[in-house]
Amino acid sequence: MLSALPHSHPHGQHVLDFCRDVPKSEMHLHIEGTLEPELVFELAKRNGVATHLPTVEDMKRALDFKNLQQFLDLYYAACSCLLHEQDFFDMTWAYCVKASSQNVRHAEIFFDPQTHTERGVAFSVVITGISRALEQAKRELGMTSALIMCFLKHLSGDDSIRTLEESLPFKDHITAVGLDSTEIGNPPSKFKAVYDLARAEPYNYRCVSHCGEEGPRGDYTEETIIGDMWKTLELLKVERIDHGIQSLRSPELIKHLSEKRIPLTVCPFSNVRLRAVDKLEDHPLKKMMDSGLLVSINSDDPAYFGGYCGDNYLGVALALQLGLADMAELAANSWESSFLPAVAKGARIGDVAQVAERYAKTEEERSGVEKVLERGKRIGAVAIAN
């Protein structure tokens, strides 16, 4: 996607250099969505699995999907090559290496156990392979992480409860639960029971959920979309909304999200590739920022959407002509939105300010850096006081 954008920035090359160098936290990343075509075929060959497409080039051509469901069909087909602990390790390690190269220093990663247990792959195989790679990433790359176990919206509430129960022996590896897969026809009320269980003893998981990604079509009206977003907050009691770009349709919802500082993990390239937004230049990210929403930049399923986290930073800076202050705010948002302890958030936001200070050239840019620095100090000070 970057190749279709201008190569120079109206505010100067230093903005793009900052986007590359700034330490980032990524909170909307599906580990199965990092399976690059080459790795799919490598794993399929290793495991004797027939691929759904004959060549790597055919799979790359198939990435021109028209909607969320077409993407999901391709996504689940690629997952069929994941059978053994080493497969999950290799997939996760490949992501960590790539993300680290783009200065992602912390990642809160979704994984979809139901996608694998439905195929007869044990829960333990999935989480052990992923966790082993994340531990190695911390040791060798200095990259920290957390795991978010997602329930699939298109499956039943009872299925999600069974998956929750399977997670109990591994609960120390899991920070939160989430919901993904298709929104249409799968209201939040379907998962209230599992969220109530997940939040309580013995799990004590934190809660997030995908919602507000797709716009109106057919019976999926604007009223339904906004209603589902409210129900996600009220019934599921989530601390963070994944996507949430449709929140701009409701001033009342914007006010609530802004006042409560509820983070929205936005995925610009994904929104364009899945046709939620026509083109990157039309993305509502800046409008969301100007509305006071706590938004961050994330890659979602980078193997399918044309770029990893750092690529998304560069893409929105170019397409929306965002300046250094805007990009520093977004990087700081990524840390504030994380599940890290407040002291660590404050320190990492301070790191963002330090990098931004090196690149700031104008009074406006220096003022933006000062705001980021003060935010980091405030978050850290509140944590210490408590």
7 is in an annotated binding site: no
CA angle at 295 for the pair 192 and 225, rounded to the nearest 5°? 45
Q: Which residues are catalytic?
A: 213
Please answer whether residues 24 and 313 qualify as being in contact, where contact means their C-beta atoms are separated by less than 8 angstroms.
yes
84 is in an annotated binding site: no
301 is in an annotated binding site: yes
Q: How far apart are CA 80 and CA 36, in angstroms?
A: 14
30 is in an annotated binding site: yes
Q: What does DSSP say about strands 264-266 and 295-297: parallel, antiparallel, or unpaired?
A: parallel
Rounded to the nearest 10°, the torsion over CA 376, 301, 96, 372 is -10
210 is in an annotated binding site: yes
Residues tagged in the binding site annotation for substrate: 301
Residues tagged in the binding site annotation for Zn(2+): 28, 30, 210, 300
Residues tagged in the binding site annotation: 28, 30, 210, 300-301
